[in-house]
Amino acid sequence: MRVRLLAVAATFAALIALVAVYVVYFLESGPPAVAAVINRDGSASLTLQVVGSYGNHPFPDWVSYLVKDPSGKWRHTTIWKLPAHELVHVTVYQFDSQTGLRNNFLAQVRGTVGGVATYTDVGNTGKGSGLPPYNNTSLSVIPPSEPAHTFTVPDLDLSVPLVGISDSTSNVCAVAPCPMHFAHTTISFSFRTPGAGTYRWQCFVPCAFAFLYGFGGPMQTIGYMDGLLEVA
């Protein structure tokens, strides 16, 4: 009886340990949440970069977002903490090339302060559209052939198309985080956060290379082109 009791206890302990491993290493595994920089006036600054290929383990050829944490270090996560009912100033350094939109509606800037975003080309050797480079240009809509990605939060009706670099550019970054000497566009906009809650954001350009219809892979994986705004 005593031996059997010990055997049952040991089995029970082993099962508890297995459950703990399952919870810690699978269920709770995921990218960390990184807080935006809080400014003196209570507003927040969120600095992001979008890269055509992450360049690191486990999916080096997946397109991805990165975020700069308050210490100034680039972090690979798409879960960002923002203050509630505050203005958020977003700066996106966009290093990926243009893919164009399937739905021209997404060429509009929506939900930002003033309904506009500011665009700047840096180190670009020419725009595919033949138009002159952007130079701190405020726009409410861009040519639908130019976006590489979007930053879209459906719950907030917020959507900003992110202009891609020209296909003819040779100075392309391949490994994140990308230094600023590589060709990129800079997109700035501000929006106001709602009340506390978790809000899903997503890139709405099917940009997952080699995945069926451009969806799948990074498009459906939090940490790459899909993420959460944790507003508190």
Chain residues that interact with other proteins, rule: CB under 8 A: 1, 4-5, 7-8, 19, 22-23, 26-31, 59, 61-62, 79, 197-198, 200, 208-213, 215-217, 220-223, 226, 228
Nearer to other proteins, 19 or 113 (CB): 19
3-state DSSP helix/strand/coil % of the chain, to nearest 5:
20, 35, 45
Q: With respect to other proteins, which residue has the nearer C-beta, 32 or 114? A: 32
Can you say whether residue 224 is alpha, beta or left, with left for phi > 0 and alpha for psi between -120 and 50 degrees? Answer: alpha
Around Cβ 65, how many Cβ atoms within 10 Å? 26
State the minimum distance, in angstroms, from the CB of residue 49 to other proteins: 21
Minimum Å gap between C-beta 56 and other proteins is: 15
Residues 6+ apart with CB under 8 A from 147: 98, 99, 100, 101, 106, 107, 161, 162, 163, 164, 205
Closer by beta carbon to other proteins, 105 or else 215: 215
Task: Mention every residue, 6+ apart, whose C-beta is less than 8 A from residue 143.
Answer: 107, 129, 131
Nearest 5°: phi and psi at 156? -100, 0
Q: Which is nearer to other proteins, 149 or 184 (CB)?
A: 149
- Cβ 211 to other proteins shortest distance, Å: 6
Q: Which of 79, 50, 95 is nearest to 231 (CA)?
A: 79
Minimum distance from residue 14 beta carbon to other proteins (Å):
12
Q: Which is nearer to other proteins, 8 or 113 (CB)?
A: 8
Tell me whether residue 42 or residue 216 sits nearer to other proteins (CB atom): 216
CB of 58 to other proteins, least distance (A): 8
Tokens of 64: 């991805």
Q: Which amino acid is at 71?
A: S
Q: How far is the CB of 231 from other proteins (least distance, A)?
A: 10
